Chain A
Amino acid sequence: MTLLFFLAAGWIFLAGVYGMVTSRNIIRTVGCLAVAQSSTYVLLLAVGFRRGGTSPYFTDTSTRTPVVDPVVQALALTDVVVGATVTALLLALALQLRKRHGTVDPDALTGLRG
């Protein structure tokens, strides 16, 4: 049953990729990339969960409390930032591309081929 928590990550990744494969709009492609990325957060945090643990900082709880893995949280935090910045860059590219090319449909982007 708890296996499903890990499998959810794989499902989300594939859903994002499916959206990118079928996309007819480059802005949607970038959005789907963000979806695919959220799978990594889910996997990382699910991996770091400890049954009965609480979050690993000790201002409002005793230092003996069992806590979940802080390292994956730090990794996920880095990942969130990376994802947001990359999304911003790609959206900037998509915006300019739309302006210059007059289309957001990948089928109509024929500038580079062969």
Chain B
Amino acid sequence: MNGSYATSEYLIAVCVLLVTVTATVAALTPEPVRQALVLAMLGTALTLLFTVLQAPDVALSQLGVGAAVTPLLIMLTVRRVRRSSTQQRDRERQR
């Protein structure tokens, strides 16, 4: 029984480490597209952590929100921003 506790806590420790490192990298990534990808990774890592903490409900939400919707929204925002700066550059070239 103790062995099972130890395995479970080892899993939790590894997942916490994964989440912490990924979160730190996500906070330090300066460029939004790359950050969106790291945030997707953070969502996946959080999913693992929640599962080993025996919270599959939260893990499922995190999977939907953190790994899919939030990064997608950031990508869409960046794309819109890119599009307007492309237009802008085209205009400047025409002048």
Q: Which A residues fall within an 8 A CB radius of B?
A: 2, 4-5, 8, 11-12, 15-16, 18-19, 23-25, 27-28, 30-32, 34-36, 38-39, 41-42, 45-46, 48-49, 51-56, 67-68, 73, 76-77, 80-81, 83-84, 87-88, 91, 94-95, 98-99, 102, 104
- Which of the residues B28, B46, B55, B77 comes within 8 Å of A38, measured between beta carbons? B46
In the complex formed, the residue of B with least CB distance to A14 is B27
- Which of the residues A11, A16, A32, A45 comes within 8 Å of B53, measured between beta carbons? A45
In the complex formed, the residue of B with least CB distance to A54 is B54
Taking the closest CB of chain B, its distance from the CB of A90, in whole angstroms, is: 10
Which of chain A's residues have a CB closer than 8 A to the CB of B54? 49, 53-56, 67-68
List 30 A-B pairs, Cβ < 8 Å.
A15-B24, A16-B23, A16-B27, A18-B27, A19-B28, A24-B30, A30-B74, A31-B26, A31-B36, A32-B26, A32-B27, A34-B66, A35-B39, A41-B58, A42-B46, A46-B53, A48-B55, A52-B1, A54-B54, A68-B54, A77-B61, A80-B58, A83-B65, A84-B65, A84-B70, A87-B73, A91-B73, A95-B77, A98-B84, A104-B81
